[in-house]
């Protein structure tokens, strides 16, 4: 995808883009997510939550080598 | 969007808990065979145990319990409707599996002398083995998968099984949910380990993925087995769990119980004798809520500070580790606040209740060469360790089954039909999104199937489901990810219809809340002391029939059989 993706719902996966090393090719969080909702936005190079289908389960955060991910409880459940 | 062809000896579908064991054990027994383990997600972090587990719910450990005691307990917990041979197949292998996992590096709780520290949570015996450091289970399994040389393939959503011209299993077909490739896998035996139907009811939060089960488990396996002609069993015996309200995850009674935590009503009174999850316990829970005594809470505020810290070190670290984040958001601290609990949406699950694909004690389904293990099969209350043991049984039996056999012949039409079905939503110009259809379908499941079950309601439900089936021809997916969701909607709909039909068929009440029918109060052993089975008939419609309960290996006196009925604590006892 060449354009930047706008997120149109309240995301529950917060990525600290200063810590994230996606520019070095890291895709671990995308790899491990069971519901496959994280993507690398080729437009702005950022990791984003593309679908509001999160099980708030944590593999993305636990396996991130730079601890760049914070998982929140999806808004409807809080 | 290409078509890929893969040929293996044994195919294991679902790399959660049962699947890895099936693949490892098949490969260990016959290293020369090609064994492929595939998953919709990534095997490394797939399934119910992705973040570990906080206890073995059903350990049968010498000195604490015998297979006979365990088989009897589960027979009683499941109101007599079990195949004791299958429960026994688990019970007699339970301890060996624990020792094997221990050897692989899974950490179980031990006492000062190095013995396993088993706790009593069930109504009658002691079977709960805590795993305070259980977060590494999946990593340990993955290491073994690599070690023995099992092939792994991720992001493959299996959609249908291939059945050979001779009626034997022939493989499976799948969608690669990132590239949109169509994948045809030929195999001589298939082990289905796709978990529960966890996206059946809609959580009361309204969040489609806020389920108890890992939401990858949408019920695909039930649907696939059904369309392959396999017999499904006990679909009227729903899975309903007592969960943290809104969070919709376990609290969990098996962790807090041994530390002194328990369930209370709004008056702060205990009302159930045993926190072990059973339909009978859930019925009392429901009565408490309906009777004006709710909300129901998990009580921990009477425990010492260091005990609560110990509980937090488990509940906020393993299994569903966001429990801590959730409580923090609401300002709940176990030390001085009660945890509000509620009744979950319905699901189908062999591992928690007893609804699954029928298997015998060798994990064989009624289709030759097709096996089922874990939450998908109907071995009652089997949980994590039972999933592993049945995975092992299936993997090893599959090696024997394929001995001397070639791949079954398949007609090309089966493959073409499936390709067409899968890709139709992508080809459509416009239409209804999978999410919209799923939301409506699961909301209808809540409205018409959530117990207590009412005949007239379930009949209306079936009408609504039929209308939604017609909507499937207008479902639109914009990319392979949405296409995966679209295929899941097909499976959820199959599960909803089959669950409604099985529920209508059994004209009695049984298993507490799981099958509580207001028009047929009470059990009717004369007519219904058997399994209710469902399979695809010759006309393509579901065919329902009874399967007798096989003679017990360990006879149980009629006076003991319904021991789980005595779940409610009577007021005299409270006063005493
Ligand atoms: C929150 C929670 C807590 C639990 N706590 C305990 C506990 O403390 N103790 C205990 O003993 N038991 C516990 N259980 C039960 C236990 O975890 C399960 O019984 C067991 O893990 C089930 O194993 P399984 O292999 O059947 O399913 P899973 O481990 O869920 O694996 C199913 C796999 O199938 C894959 N899949 C699904 N559909 C497809 C498809 N179409 N194509 C390809 N792959 C597919 C999924 O991605 C998943 O990886 C708990 C369960 C849950 C959900
Ligand atoms: S919390 Fe789980 S479901 Fe949500 S993005 Fe992370 S890995 Fe995926
Ligand atoms: S795992 Fe962490 S570092 Fe890697 S891409 Fe994801 S957020 Fe960035």
- The token duo for B158 is 């299996």
- Centre of ligand 1 from the C-alpha of residue B374, in Å: 7
Note the pLDDT tens digit of each residue in B401-458: 999 999 999 999 999 999 999 999 999 999 999 999 999 999 999 999 999 999 999 9
C-alpha pair distances (Å), B536 with each of A72, B173, B488, B518, B541: 43, 19, 19, 28, 6
Q: Which of B13-17, B51-55, B359-363 has the lowest mean pLDDT?
A: B51-55
Q: Quote the distance between the C-alpha of residue B263 and its chain's center.
A: 24
- Centre of ligand 2 from the C-alpha of residue B73, in Å: 37
User: Closest Cα to residue B201, out of B446, B492, B453?
Assistant: B446
Domain B242-343 falls in which CATH fold?
Flavocytochrome C3; Chain A, domain 1 (3.90.700)
On whether the CB atoms of residues B381 and B127 are closer than 8 A, the answer is no
In this model, does residue B495 exceed pLDDT 60?
yes
Share of chain B above pLDDT 90, in %: 94
Partners of B250 on chain A (C-beta within 8 Å) are: none
Question: DSSP characters for B81-140?
Answer: -S-HHHHHHHHHHHHHHHHHHHHHT----B-TTS-B--B--SSSS--BEE-TTGGGHHHH
CA distance linking residue B15 with residue B47, whole number of Å = 7
Contact flag B51-A71 (C-beta cutoff 8 Å)? no
Give the helix/strand (H/E) hosting B230: none
Note the pLDDT tens digit of each residue in B85-101: 999 999 999 999 999 99
In this model, does residue B253 exceed pLDDT 90?
no
Instruction: Give, using CA atoms, the residue closest to atom 2 of ligand 2.
Output: A57
Contact flag B322-A58 (C-beta cutoff 8 Å)? yes
Check residue B380 and give its pLDDT: 97
Check residue B576 and give its pLDDT: 44
Check residue B274 and give its pLDDT: 87
CA distance linking residue B37 with residue B187, whole number of Å = 12
In this model, does residue B283 exceed pLDDT 90?
yes
CA torsion angle for B3, B8, B11, B13 (degrees, to 10)? -30
User: Closest Cα to residue B400, out of B21, B25, B12, B7?
Assistant: B25
Angle (deg, nearest 10), helices B383-402 and B18-29? 40
Contact flag B481-A78 (C-beta cutoff 8 Å)? no
Sorted by where each begins, the domain ranges of chain B are 242-343, 412-530
- The token duo for B352 is 């928690």
In this model, does residue B566 exceed pLDDT 90?
no
- Whether the upstream peptide bond of residue B295 has omega within 30° of 0, thus cis, is yes
CA distance A18 to chain B (A): 23
Contact residues for A70 (Cβ-Cβ < 8 A; gap 6+): A13, A14, A15, A16, A61
Contact flag B246-A63 (C-beta cutoff 8 Å)? no
User: Nearest chain B Cα to A35, which residue?
Assistant: B216
User: Closest Cα to residue B61, out of B125, B132, B136?
Assistant: B125
Long-range pairs of B59-63 with CB within 8 A, sequence gap ≥ 24: B59/B94, B59/B95, B59/B98, B59/B116, B59/B118, B59/B127, B59/B128, B59/B129, B59/B385, B60/B90, B60/B91, B60/B92, B60/B94, B60/B95, B60/B127, B61/B94, B61/B95, B61/B98, B61/B116, B61/B118, B61/B129, B62/B95, B63/B115
Question: In the predicted model, what is the mean pLDDT of residues A40-56?
Answer: 96
Check residue B572 and give its pLDDT: 55
Residue with tokens 């609560």: B308
Nearest CB to B481 within list A32, A51, A54: A51
C-alpha pair distances (Å), B60 with each of B64, B127, B192: 7, 6, 25
User: What backbone torsions phi and psi does residue B350 show, to the nearest 5 degrees?
Assistant: -75, -40
CA distance linking residue B374 with residue B355, whole number of Å = 11
Residue with tokens 């030929």: B186
On whether the CB atoms of residues B195 and B16 are closer than 8 A, the answer is yes
Q: What angle do CA B320, B322, B327 make, to 5 degrees?
A: 120
- Centre of ligand 2 from the C-alpha of residue B481, in Å: 15
User: What backbone torsions phi and psi does residue B262 show, to the nearest 5 degrees?
Assistant: -160, 170
Burial class of B522 by CB neighbour count within 10 A (0 to 12, 13 to 18, 19+)? exposed
Please state the three-class secondary structure of B27-77 as a single string.
HHHCCCCCEEEECCCCHHHCCCCCCCCCEECCCCCCCCCCHHHHHHHHHHH
Domains (ranges, CATH) in chain A? 13-77 (3.30.70.20)
- The token duo for B437 is 């259809």
Contact flag A34-B216 (C-beta cutoff 8 Å)? yes
Check residue B1 and give its pLDDT: 79
CA atoms within a 13 Å half-sphere pointing along the CA-CB vector of B102:
15
CA distance linking residue B545 with residue B533, whole number of Å = 5
In this model, does residue A7 exceed pLDDT 80?
no
**Confidence at A2, pLDDT banded by 50, 70, 90:** very low
Note the pLDDT tens digit of each residue in B319-337: 999 999 999 999 999 999 9
Partners of B46 on chain A (C-beta within 8 Å) are: 34
- Centre of ligand 3 from the C-alpha of residue A66, in Å: 7
Q: Which of B89-103, B123-137, B274-288 has the highest mean pLDDT?
A: B89-103
CA distance linking residue B214 with residue B50, whole number of Å = 9
Residue with tokens 């993955």: B142
Question: In the predicted model, what is the mean pLDDT of residues B333-360?
Answer: 97
- Closest ligand 2 atom to Cα of A49: 5
Check residue A3 and give its pLDDT: 55
Higher pLDDT pick, B563 / B83:
B83
In this model, does residue B250 exceed pLDDT 70?
yes
In this model, does residue B124 exceed pLDDT 90?
no
On whether the CB atoms of residues B170 and B163 are closer than 8 A, the answer is yes
B340: which strand partners? Answer: B297
Question: DSSP characters for B252-316?
Answer: -HHHHGGGT-EEE-TTS-B-BS--S--HHHHHHHHHHHHTT---EEEE-TTS-HHHHHHHHHHHT
Check residue B548 and give its pLDDT: 98
User: Closest Cα to residue B221, out of B411, B381, B350, B35?
Assistant: B350
- Centre of ligand 2 from the C-alpha of residue A65, in Å: 15
CA distance B155 to chain A (A): 8
Instruction: Give, using CA atoms, the residue closest to atom 8 of ligand 2.
Output: A33
User: Closest Cα to residue B257, out of B279, B281, B286, B284?
Assistant: B281
- Closest ligand 2 atom to Cα of B322: 1
CA atoms within a 13 Å half-sphere pointing along the CA-CB vector of A56:
27
Note the pLDDT tens digit of each residue in B189-245: 999 999 999 999 999 999 999 999 999 999 999 999 999 999 999 999 999 999 999
Give the helix/strand (H/E) hosting B238: none
User: Nearest chain B Cα to A30, which residue?
Assistant: B42
Note the pLDDT tens digit of each residue in B156-178: 999 999 999 999 999 999 999 99
Question: In the predicted model, what is the mean pLDDT of residues B27-40?
Answer: 98
CA torsion angle for B279, B282, B286, B291 (degrees, to 10)? 100
Give the helix/strand (H/E) hosting A71: strand A69-71
Question: In the predicted model, what is the mean pLDDT of residues B268-280?
Answer: 92
Within 10 angstroms of residue B74's Cβ, the number of other Cβ atoms is 26
Within 10 angstroms of residue B126's Cβ, the number of other Cβ atoms is 18
On whether the CB atoms of residues B480 and B176 are closer than 8 A, the answer is yes
Contact flag B209-A36 (C-beta cutoff 8 Å)? no
Interface of A to B at Cβ within 8 Å reads: 31-36, 50-59, 62-63, 71-74, 76-78
B412-530 sits in which CATH class?
Answer: mainly alpha
Q: In what order do the strands lie in the sheet with B356-357?
A: B356-357, B232-233, B530-536, B542-548
Question: In the predicted model, what is the mean pLDDT of residues B388-409?
Answer: 98
Contact flag A59-B51 (C-beta cutoff 8 Å)? yes
Check residue A4 and give its pLDDT: 66
In this model, does residue A24 exceed pLDDT 60?
yes
- Closest ligand 3 atom to Cα of A40: 5
- Closest ligand 3 atom to Cα of A15: 7
Mutate to test the interface with B, among A56, A63, A74, A76 (most CBs of B within 10 A): A56
In this model, does residue B499 exceed pLDDT 50?
yes
- Centre of ligand 1 from the C-alpha of residue B214, in Å: 7
In the structure, which protein residues have their CB atom closer than 6 angstroms to any atom of ligand 3?
Answer: A 15, 20-22, 26-29, 47, 64-66, 68-69
Pocket test for ligand 3, best of A13, A15, A18 (most atoms within 8 A of CB): A15
- Centre of ligand 1 from the C-alpha of residue B41, in Å: 12
Check residue A1 and give its pLDDT: 41
- Whether the upstream peptide bond of residue B452 has omega within 30° of 0, thus cis, is yes
Check residue B519 and give its pLDDT: 97
CA atoms within a 13 Å half-sphere pointing along the CA-CB vector of B464:
20
In the structure, which protein residues have their CB atom closer than 6 angstroms to any atom of ligand 2?
Answer: A 13, 33-35, 37-38, 54-60, 71
Partners of B42 on chain A (C-beta within 8 Å) are: 31-34
């Amino acid at each position: 995808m060449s354009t930047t993706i706008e997120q149109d719902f309240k995301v529950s996966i917060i990525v600290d883009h200063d810590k994230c090393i996606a520019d070095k090719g890291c895709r671990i969080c995308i790899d491990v997510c069971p519901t496959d909702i994280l993507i690398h936005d080729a437009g702005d190079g950022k990791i984003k939550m593309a679908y509001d289908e999160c099980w708030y389960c944590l593999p993305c955060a636990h396996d991130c080598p730079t601890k760049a991910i914070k998982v929140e409880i999806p808004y409807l459940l809080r | 969007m290409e078509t890929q062809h893969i040929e293996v000896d044994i195919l294991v579908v679902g790399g959660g808990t049962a699947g890895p064991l099936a693949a490892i054990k098949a490969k260990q027994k016959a290293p020369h065979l090609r064994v492929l383990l595939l998953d919709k997600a990534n095997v490394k972090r797939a399934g119910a145990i992705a973040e570990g587990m906080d206890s073995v719910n059903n350990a049968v450990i010498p000195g604490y319990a015998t297979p006979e005691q365990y088989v009897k307990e589960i027979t009683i917990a499941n109101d007599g409707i079990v195949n004791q041979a299958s429960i026994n197949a688990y019970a007699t292998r339970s301890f060996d599996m624990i020792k094997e996992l221990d050897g692989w590096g899974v950490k179980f709780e031990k006492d000062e002398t190095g013995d396993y520290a088993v706790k009593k949570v069930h109504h009658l015996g002691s079977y709960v083995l805590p795993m305070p450091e259980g977060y590494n289970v999946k990593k340990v399994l993955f290491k073994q998968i690599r070690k023995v040389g099992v092939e792994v393939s991720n992001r493959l959503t299996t959609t249908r099984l291939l059945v050979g011209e001779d009626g034997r299993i022939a493989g499976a077909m799948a969608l690669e949910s990132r590239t949109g490739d169509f994948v045809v896998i030929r195999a001589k035996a298939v082990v289905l380990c796709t978990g529960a139907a966890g996206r059946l009811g809609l959580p009361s939060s309204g969040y489609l993925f806020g389920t108890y089960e890992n939401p990858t488990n949408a019920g695909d396996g039930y649907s696939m087995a059904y369309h392959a002609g396999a017999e499904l069993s006990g679909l009227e015996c729903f899975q309903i769990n007592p969960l943290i309200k809104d969070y919709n995850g376990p609290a969990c009674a098996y962790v807090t119980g041994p530390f002194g935590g328990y369930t209370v009503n709004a008056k702060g009174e205990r009302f159930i004798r045993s926190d072990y999850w059973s339909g009978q316990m859930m019925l009392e829970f429901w009565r408490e809520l309906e009777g004006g005594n709710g909300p129901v809470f998990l009580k921990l505020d009477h425990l010492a500070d260091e005990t609560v810290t110990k509980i937090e070190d488990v509940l906020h670290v393993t299994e569903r580790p966001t429990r801590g984040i959730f409580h923090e958001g609401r300002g709940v601290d176990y030390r001085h606040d009660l945890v509000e609990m509620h009744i979950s949406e319905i699901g189908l699950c062999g591992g928690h209740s007893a609804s699954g694909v029928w298997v015998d004690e060798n994990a064989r389904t009624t289709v030759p060469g097709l096996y089922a293990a874990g939450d998908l099969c109907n071995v009652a209350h089997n949980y994590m360790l039972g999933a592993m043991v049945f995975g092992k049984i299936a993997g090893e039996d599959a090696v024997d089954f394929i001995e001397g056999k070639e791949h079954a012949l398949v007609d090309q039409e089966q493959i073409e039909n499936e390709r067409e079905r899968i890709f139709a939503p992508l080809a459509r110009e416009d239409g209804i999104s999978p999410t919209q259809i799923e939301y409506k379908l699961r909301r209808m499941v809540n409205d018409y199937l959530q117990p207590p079950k009412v005949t007239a309601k379930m009949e209306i439900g079936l009408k609504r489901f039929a209308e939604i089936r017609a909507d499937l021809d207008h479902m639109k997916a914009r990319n392979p990810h949405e296409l995966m969701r679209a295929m899941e909607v097909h499976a959820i709909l199959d599960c909803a219809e089959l669950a409604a039909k099985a529920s209508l068929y059994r004209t009695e009440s049984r298993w507490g809340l799981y099958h509580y029918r207001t028009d047929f109060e009470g059990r009717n052993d004369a007519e219904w002391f058997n399994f209710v089975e469902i399979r695809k008939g010759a006309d393509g419609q579901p065919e329902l029939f009874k399967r007798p309960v096989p003679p017990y290996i360990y006879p149980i006196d009629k006076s003991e059989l319904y021991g789980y009925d005595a779940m409610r604590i009577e007021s005299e006892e409270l006063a005493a």
